[in-house]
Amino acid sequence: MLDRKGIHYKVLTYECKNFTDGVSMAEAEGVPVELTYKTIVTQGKSGNHYVLVIPVAEEIDLKKAAAACGEKSLEMVHVKDLFALTGYVRGGCSPIGMKKQFATILDSSAESYPEIYISGGRIGLSLCVAPPDILSITRGKFSQITRNH
């Protein structure tokens, strides 16, 4: 998908048999934790789904995220429903290439970095991509959606 759009990216792989947290993944790959982002899939009160991409060491602020999505509230999609909805498993969920394109919000902290690391769609695979390119391919937007900012 990135190749078809002419988007520059780098692929990183690391040995990992099972899901691990994002901080451990960044350390295993030898990349800065602050540049590593995780993907969270949510559902709004309206029934619409949203993809939220935040730093791995941060927590999502569901109230801020709901406001950014134009929803009254959001809840995280249960892990057992993730594969059927997105085609990805927990720990390998990428904002790029889901079964269906959902509205995507990238935490505004990514605006200050030339590149960030996101899941490549399976456990043990990451992509290094420029934030504006992620927004371009997902038709997403920046918004401040974490608790600590």
pLDDT digits (tens, 9 = 90+) for 106-142: 999 999 999 999 999 988 888 999 999 999 999 999 9
- For residue 3, being part of any structural domain is answered with no
Q: What is the pLDDT of residue 81?
A: 95
- For residue 148, being part of any structural domain is answered with no
- For residue 1, being part of any structural domain is answered with no
| Domains held by the chain: number | 1
- For residue 38, being part of any structural domain is answered with yes
Q: How confident is the model at residue 84 (pLDDT cuts 50, 70, 90)?
A: very high
Q: Which residues pair with 129 in a beta bridge?
A: 9, 116
Distance CA 21, CA 24 (A): 6
Distance CA 23, CA 55 (A): 9
Average pLDDT of the chain is: 91
Q: Decide which of 15 and 73 is more confident.
A: 73
Q: Is 90 exceeded by the pLDDT of residue 60?
A: yes
Q: Is 60 exceeded by the pLDDT of residue 47?
A: yes
Q: Is 60 exceeded by the pLDDT of residue 52?
A: yes
Q: Is 137 helix (H, G, I), strand (E, B) or coil?
A: helix
Phi first, then psi, for residue 50 (nearest 5°) are -135, 145
Distance CA 41, CA 39 (A): 7
- For residue 4, being part of any structural domain is answered with no
Domain that holds residue 41: 9-143
- For residue 30, being part of any structural domain is answered with yes
- For residue 149, being part of any structural domain is answered with no
Q: Which amino acid is at 37?
A: Y
Strand 9-13: give its sheet, edge to edge. Answer: 9-13, 125-129, 116-119
Q: Is 90 exceeded by the pLDDT of residue 36?
A: yes
CATH number, domain containing residue 98: 3.90.960.10
Q: What is the pLDDT of residue 19?
A: 57
- For residue 18, being part of any structural domain is answered with yes
